[in-house]
Structure formats: C-alpha cells, structure tokens
A and B are shown apart, each in its own frame.
Chain A
Amino acid sequence: MRLSPASALTWGLSALGVFVLPWYMLEDGLTPMRLFGLIGSEVEYASAATAAAWFGRWWLWPPVLAVLIGLPSLMPGLSRRSAALLRGGAGALGLTSVIAQGWLIGIRGWNYPALEAAFGALPSGQFGIGLGGAAAFLAFLLMITDALALKGKFGGDRFVAGAVGIIVAAIAIFTIWPVLTILSQAFGIAKGETAAVVFAQRFFHAKVWGLECLVSRSACGVAWNTLALALSTALATTLLGLCFALIAIRTGFPFKSGLRLLTVLPIVTPPFVIGLGLILIFGRSGIVNQAAAHLFGVELGRWIYGFNGVWLAQVFSFTPTAFLVLIGIVQGISPTMEEAAQTLRASPSRTFNAVTLPLMMPGLANAFLIVFIESLADFGNPIVLGGSFGVLSTEIFFAVVGAQVDFGRAAALALILLLFALTAFLIQRFSVGSRSYVSMTGKGETGLAQGVPTWVRRVAYTVALPWAVLTVTVYALALAGGFVKIWGRDWTPTLEHFARAFAIDHGVKGIVWSGGAWSSLFTTIKLAAIAAPITAALGLLAAWLLTRQRFAGRTALEFGLMLSFCVPGTVTGVAYILTYNIPPLEITGTALILVLCFIFRNMPVGVRSGMATMSQLDKNLDEAAATLRASTFRALRVVILPLLKPAIITALTYSFVRAMTTVSAVIFLVSAQYEMATVFIINRVINGDYGLAIAYSTVLIVLMTAVIGLIQLGVGERRLVRREPSVPAKERHA
C-alpha cells in the first residue's frame, strides 16, 4: 500500500496530542507558550507522555502506547490487512483508554468507590481533558474509521468513514450525552432514598401536574400551563397563518411583498422584543393603560402579566412561522384538482370545503405542531411577561438560578419538557409529515390558481389585516421605547439609552468602548462568527452523508440529528451545565461551551437546507466525478460544494443570526467573562431598565439585517443560468 498523506497526518495528530500538547484543560487559558507540553513544569501544563512519566499519571500510558502501535501502520509496502489491523488496534486502544480514564478518574481520584476499593486510592485526581486530549481523541477516532474503510466498510471510502466517525462522535458527545445526563440527574438521589421514589416525587409533584385552578383560584401545575399555552398558541397562529397564506397566494391583495417581509421578522428579532412591545403598550405604564387612566379613570391593572400576555406575545412571535409553512402548502396544491372539482359542478364554496381545505389538512397539522414545539421551547416571552404564571422552560430556569438551586428538580422538569417536545415532534415527523398531499411530480402543472370563495376571502381579510397592522405597531412601539426618557412618565425624546449602551470615549490610549453593552456585543459577535462556519460545515457534511452515502448506522445518525432538532433550548442549557461542569469535559464557564451550544443547536438547520438542496442535485454528478478519478473529497469540494451555494448561504446566515438572538440555552451557560447580548438585555428587562434593553435590541435587529445582506453578497450568486442541472432539454432541431 502507498502511504497516504491523510494517514500520516492522522498519526501525526495523535503523536502531537499525546507527546506535545498539554493534555489537560488549562484553567487560565491557552497561550502559545504553553502549547508545548513535552517538558511541563507542572502537571497542568504537561503532555500525556510527560504526565505519565514524571507526574505519576500511569493511566495515561495506554494512549502513549497506542500512538507507538500506530506508527508501523504507516510503513510503505504493508498489506491492506496488516495496515487495517495495526491502525484499528491503535485507534481502539487509544480511544477506549482516553474515554475510560476520563470517565473513571475525576478531580478527586477514582470516580467510583468500588474502583478505589479494588485498586487502592490514586495519588492524585485529574482535570478535564484539554487540547492534547481532544487532539488525541480525534486522531484515534480517525484511525478506527480508517481501519474500517480499509476493511471495506463505508464502501471502502476513508473520507466517508472519517466524516461519519466525526459526526457520530460529535452528536454522541454534545447531544446524546447531555440528554442522558438529564435522565440520570432526574433519577439522582441523596443518601437513604430510592431512585424511584425521588423521581416519582419530582416528576409527579403537585406544582407540575396540579389541577387546582379548575376548582379554586390557586395556580395549576406548570406542565398543564405549558400545554395549555402551547395548544392555544398553536391554534391561533395556525388560523392566522392560514389567513395570511390564502391572502398571499390566492387573492389579488396588492401588498403581498409586505406580507412576505413579515416572515423575516422572527429571524432577526431577539425572542423577547415582542414581549417588551406588549409591556410598553399594555403594561402598567403602557400607553393603553395610561390613556385609560387619563381619559376614563379606569385602572386596567396587570392583566398583561400572565397567561394572556405570554399567549399574545407568542401569537405575535410565531404567526410568521406558521405563515411560512402554510405558504408552501397553499402553493403546493395543484390547481388542476380545483379545476376538476369545478368542472364537476362544485360551487366555489364546495370546492374550497371539499377539495382545497382537506388537501391542506396535513399542512395545517404540520404548522400546528411546529408552532406547538416552538411555544414549548419559548423562554424569552414567558420570562418577560409570565409574572407568577410559570411554564416549564421558566421553572427549569428558576430551579437552577433561584434560591433553591435544585438540579434534580430542573432535570425532572427538563425531562417532562423534552417528552412533550419529542412526542409532538414524532407525531409531526412520522404521522403528519409523511401524509402530505402536496405532489411535486416535476411535470408542469397547467391551470391557474383558483381564487377563494368570497366569504373565505372576507374572513381572511378581517382576521389577518388588523393583525398585520397590530404586529407592525407592536414592533414600532417596541423600538420607539428606546428613544424616550422613561416610558409612561417622561416622554422626552432622547438618545441617552443608546449612549449608555454604546458610548465611545477617546481616552489616553485611544478609543475606549465605555458603553455598557459593548463587551457583550463583541463577545456575541465573536462567538457567533466562530460558530457559524463550523455549524454550516458540519450540517452540510451530515446532509451529504445522509443523502448520498449508504452505511451501517445511518438511521441512528438520523435519529441523533432529529433529537437535536427538537430538544428545547432550556433543556439543552441545563443538560450542558450538568454534563460539562466536571471532568472529563470541564468547559462550563468558557467560551467553548457557548460555541458548542450554538453549533449543536443550529446544526439541524444546516442539515435541513443541505438535504433539500442536495436532493435536487442529480446523484449521477457524484458518480461521474468518481468515475473521472476524483477522490471523494475532491468531488465534494469541486462539484458538490459549488452547487450547494444557496444551502451554504442559508446555513451560514441562520446559524450566525440564531446564535446572536438565542436566549433560552445560553442563559444557563454565560459567565461573567462571556456574557451574551440577549442575556444582557433580559437582565436589564428583569431590572425594569426597558430603555437600555430596547436600544440594544434595536441595534441587534439592524445588525442582523445587515449581516444577512452581507453574507448574501459574500457567498455570491450561483454561476448558473438554469436551475436544474444536467437534465437536458429535448434536442432542438436546427
């Protein structure tokens, strides 16, 4: 066998990870000086080999041994079999030993008393895995996939094998493991209790499932609150979305592009802006309340805080989502069906009721479930407007940050929320999603889109148009709040809030970013910018694997990805701090945990857009590249990637913007050093400092819109005249 550069690089990485780089996570950060860990003065800075040889960390010998075993596999002239055997053996030994030592040996020595009893106490414990450990882990993983490919697995394709390995490992570590941690924590026990009893107490607590509100004035359980809110939000948004979709597609409404603009709003808006707007209108010092008190002497009170307000805010927030889903559905209904109904003497009303509406049913159910899941996961609106009305996502938050700090309770609540979301997701995916009547035959459908019956049009207009006006008003007022001194009391126009947030002074050393918001804004932009390309790359790679490659475990990979589709942000947040605040991966409080959170929460978007685009690309293109001697990597880079530009734009934009605007997961993960913009704003809102919060939100929205524009420009348009590649037109006779 020839020596491939990739194998040499993999081995080099393992050697680097074990001999050179510091094995452990450095408490005070990594500097270029400390990258060299072969001669560390302290164990913290040492490489694995050094730590094993000089600092008595005997459990780090197996990885060192694995690297040495891997070396002869690089010898030229070795048979495929022996190379596979050596590399596979080295990789397996290395990987299992890295995992085992991380799992079994913690900060205070053995993690399990049984092991201590069996092997005696260790002289010292260890920190979490650092750069060296991560490099070695990756290298050993790639050695295993390499060996599998050499043995003919993954179609003998080492690139595919490696890609599958990396994605599977990433999902296992950053999605599956945290979810399992939630499970085990929900069952976690103190001394003298049994797991089942504790779990039952947490899981079936009256605060969760109580139904007192039906018979008395006291509050119901948060689980019921969450479900009631999600159901009513989903119902209202689906109806509103349908009205908007019918207007946009099936009527002669003159401002359709304006309606489309509505769909961009939730993408660029931080999730609590609507809540803020509602407070400024209906809150105690809101304009409606003020006007009522002024004109009629009526005190409207605090009705906006609680179920009503959260519901209203969610309906405003998620109607565009439902609209977006339903536009596709309404467009997808073949006009020929309706024409057929009309030639069969059906009146417009009967056509709508008996043909159009039933055809849309699966789509409506789909929109309903999508909003249902979004409402379950929503954190921004309930935290701003909930008051004493608790839902699962906010209860989880208060269980962790409140006076109680009860991780077991948080985990149990997170488990309930996860079950709700998973159930809705599975229904959506397997029952509704597969029963779509939207047929894309690829044949040109003739026939004109039918208008809708007059009564339907009237209803749609009556419901949707006032709502659209109201939405714009809420946004306008939400943003106007940043430009007056104190909303409700002092209406003097001012830029003072912006100045407090974004002041720039000229000090002795040059520019001083003295505004309170700069630090969090810079952190947010930096972390989102780091996360976006990685998210897009991983997502598109996963999409490529899922659409183009056949390999064992494909279904499992799909399930793992699906899981990250539907885990609510608060659940991810709790799961991440529970999982990563102790070795082997001790990254709580770092920027790394935020970046990882962004990547694995947003990757599904990349997967989805990648799969959609990829399924439009002729599979023969890959195969043609393969028969033309291109390696899989070259085929992917030169042929597939350029054709995926639209998907790349989508993935980059979404992952960046979502990383900037998300709040639910990161609110658990931020630290004093790495504060995120949204969390900064939420804290201002909780303190009642609306002016600054609004000023900051305004800047975020403007920034986000600019970023979307820039990314579109940067990636550029596809160099294609025609959309469908390589499906030749019928020969035209000259």
Chain B
Amino acid sequence: MNAPRHAADVRLEGIAKRYGKVTAVKPLDLVIEAGTLVTLLGPSGCGKTTLLRMIAGLERVSEGRILIGGRDVTDFSAGERNVSMVFQSYALFPHMSVRENVAFGLISEGVAKQEAHAKAETVLATVGLAGFGDRFPSQLSGGQQQRVAVARSLVLEPDVLLFDEPLSNLDAKLRRSMREDIRALQQKLGLTVVYVTHDQSEALAVSDVIVVMKAAEIAQAGTPRALYEEPANVFVATFMGEANHVKGEIQSIDGTEATVRLDSATLTLPARSLAPGPVDIVIRPEAIRIDPADTPGGLAATIATATYMGAHAEYNLETPVARLFAIVPEAEGLLSVGSAVSLSFARRGTILVAP
C-alpha cells in the first residue's frame, strides 16, 4: 500500500459542458501534474463540481479531450477510467458492511471475495479504521464514514483520486483535522488528487495548486501563495480572504515600482507590469495602519465603527474613496467612533490589479 504508486497526470484540453443553452463550463485547458493535489475553488454554481464530474466520467464533455496518464479517456465511462471519487454525501452503500463497501470496487474488477476482503482490511487500517469492517455505515460517526469513503476509493489504487467537497458535512473542528489527514495521506502515497471545495482556507491548507473558478471559467490558477499575494483580478483577491477594493490611479512607473495616487494619499507599490492610468487596488484588512490625523501622505478617514475582538480590533473607516475594513492588533484600547485619523498602507497586503 505504501509504495509510491503509478500516479498519473491529468490533461484537460479545451473541455466544455453545456446543458442545452446553459453553459456549465466554458472551454478550458488545465494540466494537473502527477502526484500533486489540485483544488478547484469557487462559489457555488461556478462549474467546479461539473468539471470534477467530467474528470470522473460521470458527465460527458460537450467538447474537448481528457487525458489521464497520456491516455485519451474522453469516451470512457466512469468505470473504465481508473479514477475514484469521494462524494460529498460519501454515498456509502447503507446495506453493506464497511468491509463490503471497501471491497466493492475490487469485486467489480473480478477479485475473489476473500482476497478483496483481506485487502479491504489493510486499507481500512491505513485510514485508521482497523477493526471496523463488520459495522454498518449507519453505526459510524460522520468522520468515520468519511474515512470509509476514502478507503473505498483508495483500495482501487486509482490514477487520480477525486474529492467532491468531502468535508462539508463535518463540523469545523473535525474539518481541520480531516483535511490534514487527507493531505498527509496524499503526500505519503504520492497520489494525484483533484479536490473541490468552496472554502478558501481549506484550499489554502491542502493544495499544491489552487484553481479559482468563476462563472464557468478559470479565474486564476497557481500556488496558494501566488493567489493570495498576486491575484490576477479583484474576484480572486476578494475570494482568497478578505479584502477592500478601491479605485486609484497610477501616476508614474519607475522600473518595477509604481507611484499610485489614492485621493490625498500617495503609495509606492510593485507595478506588476501595469501602465499609468486608472487601477484597482486591493487592500487586505491587516495592511491598513491607523495613524494620527494629518499624517503627511496618508489617507484621511473617520472611524465609523470599532469592535473589540480580543487579540485584535476591527474598524470600519469612512474615507473619501470608500468605506474600508481594517484589522489592527489590539494595543491600548479602542479608538473612539467619530474621531479623525489618517491611514497608511503596508506594501505587503496592498496589491495593484488591472482594472
């Protein structure tokens, strides 16, 4: 079980899905390298689950090709593709014991029952469920059911393992430990995994690569760090964690640095190959610093609300450009509502995005 397996890469070439006139996925290309965990992230209805189900073979593509390990599987049924899927509802067969569930795929492939059951026990041990083989799914907790679903998929040693929002039925605490388990298992076994979620913190925690989807197409794909720190557009920036969005103007470019005007304030930020002119600025709440009023080069603001949150304080700040949301470390008590302040912006966490 623990030997590095024959993980395969997945290539999607111009695949699209249409239901009548509705387009669920616009033509897109994507390469998922062997042995990596790639997350499809996006709001509900963005097409991420449809994309996953097309890789699984549960939906037929309307156009394009799917290659797994270099083999064109576009016309293959789900059972012929050597992929496995862990469902959001787990889809454990309620009338079969845990062992029968895990052995189901092997028996489909013609493995003798005894051998299949023995192998099922081994895999159950891998996911920490040794000795649970005789139970029925209804006798397990949600987390245990989840692990049975993973074991049932793993036992077939698939080229690609697919997860469809596997943690959404668990509570917050368990979700955190289960996602670490999944990541650890993936790295230990060197699996290729495609993972669908709408939870950005889950995506940040488990992924090698995150693919952010919006309205049936890919908004941006990259490492978690690249997406958070260098989002391609405002949508990605606001989806990958909280962010304020304001409009400013690049006044001049000096090499890789841009001088940006934001009302009364002047900022110097990485230019990211932008040209002078109007620009979108994404400001993380943590990047806002509150200075005494009339600090030179700052943005004038009034405090609209102030909330004590224990380790930090949250402010809503009224400025000439927009109402901004800021998170600052709690020091000496809250600033009072209505007082005038000046804002400055940290380089890290303040990002220029093409308008």
User: Could you tell me which A residues sit within 8 Å of B by CB distance?
Assistant: 152, 155-157, 618, 620-621, 623-631, 634, 638-639, 642-643, 718-722, 725-734
List, in ascending order, chain A residues with CB within 8 A of B95's CB: 642-643, 718-720, 725
Q: A728-B169, A732-B141 are in contact. Are A722 and B75 (CB under 8 A)?
A: no
A620 near B88 with CB under 8 A, answer yes
B57 adjacent to A731 (CB under 8 Å): no
Bound Cα distance A730, B170 (Å): 6
Contacts of B161-193 to chain A: CB distance below 8 A: 162, 169-171, 173-174
Between A and B, how many residue pairs show CB distances below 8 Å? 121
Which residue from A626, A639, A642, A729 sits with its C-beta under 8 Å from B77?
A: A626
Most buried by A among B57, B58, B173: B58
Task: For chain B, residues 198 to 233, give those with C-beta under 8 angstroms from any C-beta of chain A.
Answer: none
The interface on chain B, measured as residues whose beta carbon lies within 8 A of the other chain's beta carbons, has a size of 42
Q: In whole Å, how far is A515's beta carbon from the nearest beta carbon of chain B? A: 46
Given A629-B109, A720-B94, does the pair A623, B79 have CB atoms closer than 8 Å?
Answer: no
Whether A726 contacts B90 by the Cβ 8 Å rule is yes
The 9 closest A-B pairs by CB, nearest first: A725-B94, A628-B105, A620-B91, A624-B91, A728-B142, A731-B142, A629-B108, A626-B78, A722-B138
Which residue of chain A has the shortest Cβ distance to B92 in the bound complex? A726
Which residues of chain A are near B104, meaning CB under 8 Å? 625, 628, 630, 638
B205 → chain A closest CB, angstroms: 19
Query: In the assembly, what is the distance between CA of A49 and CA of B324, in Å?
Result: 88
Select one of B91, B139, B170, B171 contacting A623, CB under 8 A: B91
Cβ B145 vs Cβ A630 within 8 A: no
A631: B residues at CB distance < 8 A: 79, 108
Which residues on A sit within 8 Å (CB–CB) of B133? none
A645 to chain B, nearest CB (A): 9
> Are A624's CB and B142's CB within 8 A?
no
Instruction: Point out the residues of chain A lying under 8 angstroms from B138, CB to CB.
Output: 720-722, 725
Provide the residues of chain A in CB contact with B77, threshold 8 Å.
155-157, 626
Contact of B57 among A627, A638, A730 (CB under 8 A): A627
Measured between beta carbons, the chain A residues less than 8 angstroms from B87 are 620, 623-624
* CB atoms of B108 and A628 under 8 A apart: yes
Question: Do A629 and B79 touch (CB < 8 A)?
Answer: yes
Residue of A625, A631, A642, A718 contacting most chain B CB atoms (<10 Å):
A625
Q: Are A726 and B137 also in contact (CB < 8 A) when A629-B79, A731-B174 are?
A: yes
27 A/B residue pairs, CB under 8 Å, sorted by A:
A152-B75, A155-B77, A156-B60, A620-B87, A620-B88, A623-B85, A624-B85, A624-B92, A624-B152, A626-B57, A626-B58, A626-B79, A627-B56, A627-B85, A628-B84, A628-B156, A630-B79, A634-B108, A718-B95, A720-B138, A725-B95, A726-B137, A727-B169, A728-B89, A728-B145, A731-B142, A731-B171
Contact assessment for B75 and A627 in the assembled complex, using a CB-CB cutoff below 8 Å: no
Could you say which residues of chain B place their CB within 8 Å of the CB of A630?
79, 104-105, 108
A155-B108 contact given A627-B78, A731-B170, CB 8 Å threshold: no
Instruction: Give chain A residues whose Cβ lies under 8 Å from the Cβ of B171.
Output: 730-731
> Could you tell me the distance between the alpha carbons of A626 and B162 in the complex, rounded to whole angstroms?
14
Contact A721 B170 (CB under 8 A): no
Q: What 0/1 pattern do residues 253 to 297 of B give for CB contact below 8 A with A?
A: 000000000000000000000000000000000000000000000
Nearest residue (CB) in A for B138 is A722
Q: What is the distance, in angstroms, from A200's C-beta to the closest C-beta of chain B? A: 44
| Chain A residues whose CB sits within 8 angstroms of the CB of B94 once the complex forms | 643, 720, 722, 725-726
Q: 8 Å CB contacts to A: which residues of B107-155?
A: 108-109, 136-139, 141-143, 145-146, 152-153
CA separation between A39 and B78, bound complex, in Å?
Answer: 48
Evaluate whether A618 and B79 lie within 8 angstroms (CB atoms) in the complex, with A626-B58, A628-B156, A730-B171 already known. no
Tell whether B239 is near chain A: CB-to-CB under 8 Å: no
The residues of B that contact A719 with a CB separation of less than 8 Å are 95
Closest A residue, CB atoms, query B110 = A629
Say whether B83 faces chain A, with CB atoms less than 8 Å apart. Answer: yes
| Beta-carbon nearest neighbor of A628 in chain B | B105
The chain A residue with its CB closest to the CB of B105 is A628
Of A621, A726, A731, which contacts B143 at CB under 8 A? A731
- Known A728-B142, A731-B171, A732-B141; contact A618-B108, beta-carbon cutoff 8 A: no
* Complex: A284 Cα to B142 Cα, angstroms: 70
Q: How far is the CB of B153 from chain A (nearest CB, A)?
A: 8
Please indicate the chain B residues that have their CB under 8 angstroms from the CB of A621 in the complex. Answer: 91, 93
- A675 → chain B, closest Cβ, in Å? 43
Complexed CA–CA distance, A621 and B94 (Å) = 9
Within 8 Å CB of A157, what residues of B?
A: 77
Report the bound CA distance from A155 to B75 in whole Å: 9
Query: How many Å lie between the Cα of A386 and that of B333 in the bound state?
Result: 94
B114 to chain A, nearest CB (A): 18
Give chain B residues whose Cβ lies under 8 Å from the Cβ of A638: 104
A149 to chain B, nearest CB (A): 10
Q: Contacts of A624 on B, CB cut-off 8 Å?
A: 85, 87, 91-93, 152
| Residues in chain B near residue A728, CB distance under 8 A | 89-90, 141-142, 145-146, 169
Measured between C-beta atoms, what is the minimum distance from B316 to chain A in Å?
34
Quick one: which of A634, A721, A725, A734 has the most chain B CB within 10 A? A725
Q: Which of B37-96 contact A (CB under 8 A)?
A: 56-58, 60, 75, 77-79, 83-85, 87-95
